[in-house]
């Protein structure tokens, strides 16, 4: 919409509608953040009426512009605009702000509200998500556009506040975006000088614009309340296609509130009855609460019609593209559906070396990835500067780099947190199963993003190698101890710690097929033997999370359960105990899958009253909770202290991970 | 030492000594990172011979310059220089690089090696540590220097690599350092264009110097192999006292190695026999392995003498200061010893309101902090922009701000990770018990720093509020679910989840008295009742980690154990079960302290065969592992899914945290 042809009065009224709707919803909930929506109201109007391309009746339209509200506490900004733009978000939903089972939670949640592109609130994450979406757009455009048809040519918008700009993750992601020259990305910085503690003068006086120039961005400044200037700035940002653009928008938080504007008081608290009344008066707002003035509805309806026409044009073009490119069209459909071939298991298993020689599961994972990437076009990813060690580079692919956006290998740099946020952005985008890799110990650096992937039910493979003290000489700063368990605690995250190639391949199968949540892998640095499971073994049983890898002779007197590199140790222990007791060995590569099995299966592995021992080179925490209550007393053998710098096998020995030391503890337990 | 008076040949030889010692140690260990020490050798020589003020026979001298190697993988750089400077680190120690129980672990560990100021390796952390040390210096100088005596006037140096500069934490910390105008901080950026994956061109093309200018730093560039230029740059950095300085030193990684210099191959792998021989030849190095040429030893000895004189001068000045300022001297001694008054418990308890009204533990914590800060001058800290919600501001103190460095309130901004790293820097510095606060959910943002505090045995209080679904409307992005348990898993971290004011006060006592590891607090947003423990209750029993808060009538048939806000719920449940069964209620504010108690105490709380039920508004993971094996079957009532946006009490009710719902589950369990 050409805003210069619209009366300023109407646009101001639209902005005030965002203000009042937000303030009223927060007031009704008696909880929330009115300041941001009130401060960004003009920018919202300009963005939605003049720039953002969407189809509110088709919120998953693949060529829609993406919008991410990184400062997610300003959720009413987004809900107001989604409602006004005709998304399936009613005024009753708005009135139900922050209430049980509502569709307008305190912070935007992508899996709950149509039109919400990303779950935000933990600050800075949205910026990284937007970078991921911009990468997704570039890659998809490169893959599917033809000289005749540009079916993917949308942009990615993100709004971020002072808090987002202070968080390290946004810096990491923005540096990466600058490096990649993501000209399709426009970030609007809500520069209001106020954070929860008060003025940003307390802690934040850097020159944000200059910092972004240093990252290689195109930087603009604008008065965020000047509608024409904002419109012009966004147009200029769009015109710069070789760099991402940052628009530093100077705004007044809580604008419209006579007493609270420009104060921290309006950041995270309702205005209160009196101030809400004063704000109505100051804005000349003469409507009932929760009203969209007709004049404003009309504007958004006109915009909707304009966009419908554009959408119809795109549809026509898309149909032409499909007709001319049937194979490509089939591939796109398959990619968007995150389809995985039905025989993926066989193919992944075939990727394993048949030498039977010991091999590190990180290397086996590397072999599996080569095949997975061929079979699953949605798979895209890389490493935080550790691909030579994590073996995650796709050998037949090029790098995704500035000016060459067709490669599926992403080079994240030493930026684990941004890697997590970018992965989530790719997953939100659709058509991607992202993966990222680093050492397991550094999963801590990206934990907030892993949690958001789990909360938002995103696909994704977090590939963590060097998963224990067996990392060796790098020492305790790099040796994972508590990390596998700490990941297992995140709801809706599946954690795999495979023992060998077969378990690695099956873990990948599960992860590739999973669309409603992420998976994490804990892989060894060191070589592990290929487990002999006998010829009648059904590899599918691995996907029950735990299974009998070796049956005892006669009824078991002990069940020995292990994961990852300790499975071969458990088998050795069982061998050595052969004359003394009847030992069953269970492998448990995935707790989450095991806990989904019915009680009878769980009890079939761990029979009533039979003693159990777990062996895992990590904290013992939680193992006893994993076994059926009816099973016998449990001994957890693990590591409840930090590691040490020495060759891995030495540390293992010193920490009691030898058949002799383990069996001594088992005997004491029996 | 005036380097212009030293023959260049000698200085070059000293640099080559660092190169060869590092390459040889890595070769012998067959593991390590020779590239960094070889690339930074000249800078090491200049820093140690001409700038760094130390006393190698008194490594804890309070006015020593601090040096942090943020790119800790280059540990041989530091070990070489410590050895050459006469620290208690022998050539045998060097030869024992990366070996079991050695004093030269793969990455520097401050609690193992004299002269190592900070445990580094996880990238970027060292930069934040250095910022913390610089804050520590400024604060201590302000507190103790007088117009006649400047007893604290040292500087803080840090070396960081490309990886450190890519990590978000360094950006956060550097932005804060710029804001605070820490002119005592000099950061040297080892700009070698190589990271593990290859050239930094792959992922990192920003203008680092310009970014630091944007942060408000003084930025210099230098050829890192030009000794005179480096010397000059460091002098210029010292001359700028109103801003921190960044020296961008262009270096060649692995310099000296004919084939591997300037390649990723020299980053993290030994040179190999052939290339080591070629390097010897290229450098004209004609000594046996592990030799310090006499000429070089002499240089360092001269520097040592020079520094001894300076140290003696300082000592004299210090004695004068002590004489003139006896009270201040006593306070300094007490602060450096992290002394806590013997009656701190009574004082902290006295800080609690005696209204008996329900109160949030975050607010009670806030009251306790007011007293603790008065009684313990070592206590210093703040919040990541959430002090109005975490109640951690010391009311009678000013802010630590640019130009006004006497305040003990630190304003970290929305930078949780830097907060953690800065806290650790203060703890490394000595004389400080740092604290930092945010919402519990955002402990994830700073987890790598918390882990390092635990590994390095640092004091520190990580104060996390809004500790469960009872946070309410902000929703699942902000509601801690797995966080308390995930923190409990970190070795050597004590996690307190107090139930009321008394437990809060005692938790603070334990944390303030603890010098060999950090403590974390999980505090409520919502009000919780003050627990009636009867008049004969000995509050010290709280420090056993768990204790009987209400005894059953007759022998217990059930032990109900809870932490934090769920203790009052457990008591209500017990009340309602009174006619049905005999219930003992145990409070367990700290698992780590409980697990340190002897078995007889543990079993006295949880008698043999008696069923147990735990109630905690977090993941159930691990509770069963915490109880003695001899106790009866356990039911863990908790939350193993994400939270929801609604008023806290509504979420609590829907999630089954009512006496009725809990008791229904208890009855089923019995």
Q: What is the pLDDT of residues B450-496, one digit of tens each?
A: 999 999 999 999 999 999 999 999 999 999 999 999 999 999 999 99
Q: Which of B195, B414, B485 sits opposite A163 (nearest CB)?
A: B414
- Domain holding A488: CATH number? 3.40.50.970
What per-residue confidence (pLDDT) applies to B354? 83
Locate the chain B residue with the closest alpha carbon to A178: B206
Contacts of A6 (CB under 8 A, 6+ apart): A49, A299
Asked if B411's CB is within 8 angstroms of A202's CB, the reply is yes
- Domain holding A559: CATH number? 3.40.50.920
Instruction: For A172-196, give the DSSP string.
Output: HHHHHHHHHT-TTEEEEEEE-SEET
Same domain flag for A547 and A524: no
Q: Specify the residue for token string 């060459």.
A: A404
Q: Which of B122, B197, B620 sits opposite A477 (nearest CB)?
A: B122
> Residues A623-636: pLDDT tens digits?
988 899 899 999 99
Per-chain mean pLDDT for chain A = 97
- pLDDT of residue A354 exceeding 90, the answer is no
In chain B, positions 152-171, which contact chain A (CB-CB < 8 Å)?
Answer: 162-164, 166-171
Residues B216-238 have a mean pLDDT of 98
d(CA B208, CA A266): 36
| Whether the Cβ atoms of residue B588 and residue B594 lie closer than 8 Å to each other | yes
- SS3 assignment, position B439: strand
The answer to whether residue B643 neighbours chain A at the CB level (below 8 Å) is no
- pLDDT of residue B356 exceeding 90, the answer is no
Instruction: For B56-97, give the DSSP string.
Output: TT-TT-TTSPEEEESSGGGHHHHHHHHHHTT-S--HHHHHTT
Per-chain mean pLDDT for chain B = 97
The answer to whether residue B644 neighbours chain A at the CB level (below 8 Å) is yes
Q: Which of A72, A489, A623 sits opposite B482 (nearest CB)?
A: A489
> Residues A94-140: pLDDT tens digits?
999 999 999 999 999 999 999 999 999 999 999 999 999 999 999 99
- A442 or B197, which is more confident: A442
Among B290, B309, B328, the domain-final residue is B309
Same domain flag for B625 and B563: yes
Per the domain annotation, does A10 fall within a domain? yes
State the complex-level ipTM.
0.98
| Whether the Cβ atoms of residue B131 and residue B421 lie closer than 8 Å to each other | yes
Same domain flag for A85 and A171: yes
Q: Which of A175, A452, A482 sits opposite B491 (nearest CB)?
A: A482
Per the domain annotation, does B328 fall within a domain? no
| Whether the Cβ atoms of residue A222 and residue A189 lie closer than 8 Å to each other | no
d(CA A460, CA A420): 9
- pLDDT of residue A327 exceeding 90, the answer is yes
Contacts of B165 (CB under 8 A, 6+ apart): B124, B189, B204, B208
Same domain flag for B282 and B231: yes
What per-residue confidence (pLDDT) applies to A439? 98
| Whether the Cβ atoms of residue B417 and residue A448 lie closer than 8 Å to each other | no
Asked if A413's CB is within 8 angstroms of B166's CB, the reply is yes
Active-site annotation holds for B416: yes
- Strands B583-587 and B547-550 turn out to be antiparallel
- pLDDT of residue B371 exceeding 90, the answer is yes
Would you say the C-alpha torsion A591, A595, A600, A601 has a positive or negative sign? negative
Same domain flag for B171 and B47: yes
Give the active site residue among A109, A167, A416, A503.
A416
- pLDDT of residue A197 exceeding 90, the answer is no
Residue A643 CB burial class (10 angstroms; 0-12, 13-18, ≥19) = buried
Among B468, B496, B528, the domain-final residue is B528
What per-residue confidence (pLDDT) applies to A98? 98
Contacting residues of B for A118, CB less than 8 Å apart: none
> Residues B61-81: pLDDT tens digits?
999 999 999 999 999 999 999
Instruction: For B361-396, give the DSSP string.
Output: HHHHHHHHHHHHHHH-TTEEEEESS-HHHH----TT
Q: Percent of chain A having pLDDT more than 90?
A: 97
The answer to whether residue A629 neighbours chain B at the CB level (below 8 Å) is yes
Q: What band does B220 get if pLDDT is binned at 50, 70 and 90?
A: very high
> Residues B412-422: pLDDT tens digits?
999 999 999 99
Residue ranges of alpha helices (H) inside B432-500 are 447-455, 483-488
d(CA B487, CA B521): 10
Contacting residues of B for A193, CB less than 8 Å apart: none
Q: What band does A358 get if pLDDT is binned at 50, 70 and 90?
A: very high
d(CA B35, CA B38): 5
Q: Which helix (H) or strand (E) holds A666?
A: helix A659-669
d(CA A131, CA A129): 5
Contacts of A132 (CB under 8 A, 6+ apart): A421, A422, A423, A424, A425, A426, A427, A428, A429, A434
The answer to whether residue B215 neighbours chain A at the CB level (below 8 Å) is yes
Count how many domains chain A has. Answer: 3
> Residues A143-182: pLDDT tens digits?
999 999 999 999 999 999 999 999 999 999 999 999 999 9
Among candidates B13, B144, B26, B153, which has minimal Cα distance to B79? Answer: B26
Same domain flag for A553 and A517: no
Same domain flag for A301 and A445: no
Q: Secondary structure of chain A: what % helix, strand, coil (to 5)?
A: 45, 15, 40
Locate the chain A residue with the closest alpha carbon to B124: A414
In chain B, positions 226-255, which contact chain A (CB-CB < 8 Å)?
Answer: none
Same domain flag for B412 and B487: yes
For B348, the domain range is 344-528
- Strands B359-360 and B527-528 turn out to be antiparallel
Contacting residues of B for A473, CB less than 8 Å apart: 29, 31-32, 98, 106
d(CA A389, CA A396): 18
Per the domain annotation, does B324 fall within a domain? no
Locate the chain A residue with the closest alpha carbon to B439: A122
Give the active site residue among B42, B167, B367, B416.
B416
Q: Give the Å distances, CA to CA, from B45 to B219, B224, B297.
A: 21, 11, 12
Same domain flag for A292 and A374: no
Same domain flag for A116 and A192: yes
Contacting residues of B for A100, CB less than 8 Å apart: 644, 646-647, 650-651, 654
Contacts of B133 (CB under 8 A, 6+ apart): B66, B68, B117, B156, B425, B426, B428, B429
Same domain flag for B198 and B65: yes
Asked if A489's CB is within 8 angstroms of B641's CB, the reply is no
| Whether the Cβ atoms of residue B152 and residue B140 lie closer than 8 Å to each other | yes
pTM for the predicted model, two decimal places: 0.98
- pLDDT of residue A452 exceeding 90, the answer is yes
Among candidates B128, B129, B134, which has minimal Cα distance to B116? Answer: B129
Asked if A482's CB is within 8 angstroms of B489's CB, the reply is yes
Per the domain annotation, does A331 fall within a domain? no
Q: Which of A399, A413, A620 sits opposite B625 (nearest CB)?
A: A620
Lowest mean pLDDT among A192-206, A427-441, B214-228: A192-206
Query: Which of B297-323 are b and which e, b meaning 16 or more Cβ less than 10 Å from the residue's Cβ?
Result: eebbeebbeebeeebeebeebbeebbe
What per-residue confidence (pLDDT) applies to A512? 98
Per the domain annotation, does A533 fall within a domain? no
Same domain flag for B47 and B175: yes
Per the domain annotation, does B330 fall within a domain? no
- Strands A245-250 and A519-522 turn out to be unpaired
Contacts of A392 (CB under 8 A, 6+ apart): A365, A366, A369, A381, A382, A383, A435, A437, A463
Residues B392-406 have a mean pLDDT of 96
Residues B283-287 have a mean pLDDT of 97
Among A309, A332, A360, the domain-final residue is A309
Locate the chain B residue with the closest alpha carbon to A388: B197
Per the domain annotation, does B611 fall within a domain? yes
- pLDDT of residue B197 exceeding 90, the answer is no
Per the domain annotation, does A442 fall within a domain? yes
């Amino acid at each position: 919409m050409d805003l210069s042809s619209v009366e300023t009065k109407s646009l101001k009224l639209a902005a005030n509608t965002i203000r009042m709707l937000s303030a009223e919803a927060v007031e009704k909930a008696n909880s929330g953040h009115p300041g941001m929506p009130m401060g960004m109201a003009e920018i919202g109007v300009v963005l939605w009426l003049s720039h953002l391309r969407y189809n509110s009746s088709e919120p998953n339209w693949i060529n829609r512009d993406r919008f991410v509200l990184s400062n997610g506490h300003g959720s009413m900004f987004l809900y107001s605009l989604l409602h006004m733009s005709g998304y399936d978000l009613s005024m009753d939903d708005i009135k139900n702000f922050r209430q049980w089972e509502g569709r307008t939670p305190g912070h935007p949640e992508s899996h709950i509200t149509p039109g919400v592109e990303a779950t935000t609130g933990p600050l800075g994450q949205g910026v990284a998500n937007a970078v991921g979406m911009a990468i997704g757009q570039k890659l998809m455009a490169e893959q599917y556009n033809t000289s005749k048809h540009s079916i993917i040519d949308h942009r990615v918008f993100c709004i971020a506040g002072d808090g987002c700009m202070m968080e390290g993750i946004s810096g990491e992601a923005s540096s990466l975006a600058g490096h990649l020259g993501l000209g399709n990305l426009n970030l609007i910085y809500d520069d209001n000088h106020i954070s929860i503690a008060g003025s940003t003068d307390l802690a934040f006086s850097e020159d944000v614009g200059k910092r972004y120039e240093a990252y290689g961005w195109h930087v603009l400044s604008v008065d965020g309340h000047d509608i024409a200037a904002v419109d012009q700035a966004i147009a200029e940002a769009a015109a710069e296609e070789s760099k991402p653009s940052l628009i530093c928008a100077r705004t007044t938080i809580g604008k419209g509130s006579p007493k609270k504007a420009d104060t921290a008081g309006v950041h995270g608290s309702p205005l209160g009855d009196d101030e809400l009344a004063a704000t109505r008066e100051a804005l000349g707002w003469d409507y009932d609460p929760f009203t969209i003035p007709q004049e404003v509805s009309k504007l958004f309806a006109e915009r909707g019609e304009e966009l419908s026409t554009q959408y119809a044009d795109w549809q026509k073009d898309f149909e032409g593209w499909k007709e001319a490119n049937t194979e490509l069209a089939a591939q796109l459909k398959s990619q968007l559906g995150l389809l995985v071939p039905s025989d993926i298991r066989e193919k992944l298993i075939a990727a394993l070396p048949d030498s039977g020689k010991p091999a590190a599961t990180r290397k086996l994972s590397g072999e599996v990835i080569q095949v997975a990437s061929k079979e699953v076009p949605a798979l895209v990813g890389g490493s935080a500067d550790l691909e030579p060690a994590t073996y995650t580079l796709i050998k037949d692919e090029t790098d995704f780099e500035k000016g060459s956006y067709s490669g599926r290998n992403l080079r994240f740099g030493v930026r684990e947190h941004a890697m997590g946020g970018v992965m989530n952005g790719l997953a939100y985008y659709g058509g991607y199963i992202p993966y990222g890799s680093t050492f397991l110990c550094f999963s801590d650096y990206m934990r907030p993003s892993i949690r958001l992937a789990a909360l938002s039910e995103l696909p994704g493979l977090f590939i963590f190698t060097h998963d224990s003290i067996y990392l060796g000489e790098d020492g305790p700063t790099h040796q994972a101890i508590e990390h596998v368990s700490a990941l297992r605690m995140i709801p809706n995250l599946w954690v795999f710690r495979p023992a060998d190639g077969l378990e690695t391949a099956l873990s990948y199968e599960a992860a590739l097929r999973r669309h409603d949540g992420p998976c994490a892998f804990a892989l060894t640095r060191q070589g592990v033997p290929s487990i002999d499971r006998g010829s009648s073994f059904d590899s599918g049983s691995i996907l029950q999370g735990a299974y009998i890898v070796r049956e005892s002779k006669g009824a078991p007197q002990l069940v020995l359960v292990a994961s990852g590199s300790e499975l071969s140790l458990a088998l050795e222990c069982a061998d050595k105990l052969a004359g003394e007791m009847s030992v069953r060995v269970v492998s448990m590569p995935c707790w989450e899958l095991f806990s989904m099995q019915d009680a009878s299966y769980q009890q079939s592995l761990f029979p009533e009253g039979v003693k159990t021992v777990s062996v895992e080179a990590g904290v013992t925490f939680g193992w006893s909770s994993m076994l059926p209550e009816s099973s016998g007393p449990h001994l957890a053998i693990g590591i409840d202290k930090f590691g040490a710098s020495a060759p891995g096998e030495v540390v293992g020995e010193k920490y009691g991970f030898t058949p002799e030391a383990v069996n001594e503890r088992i005997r004491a337990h029996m």
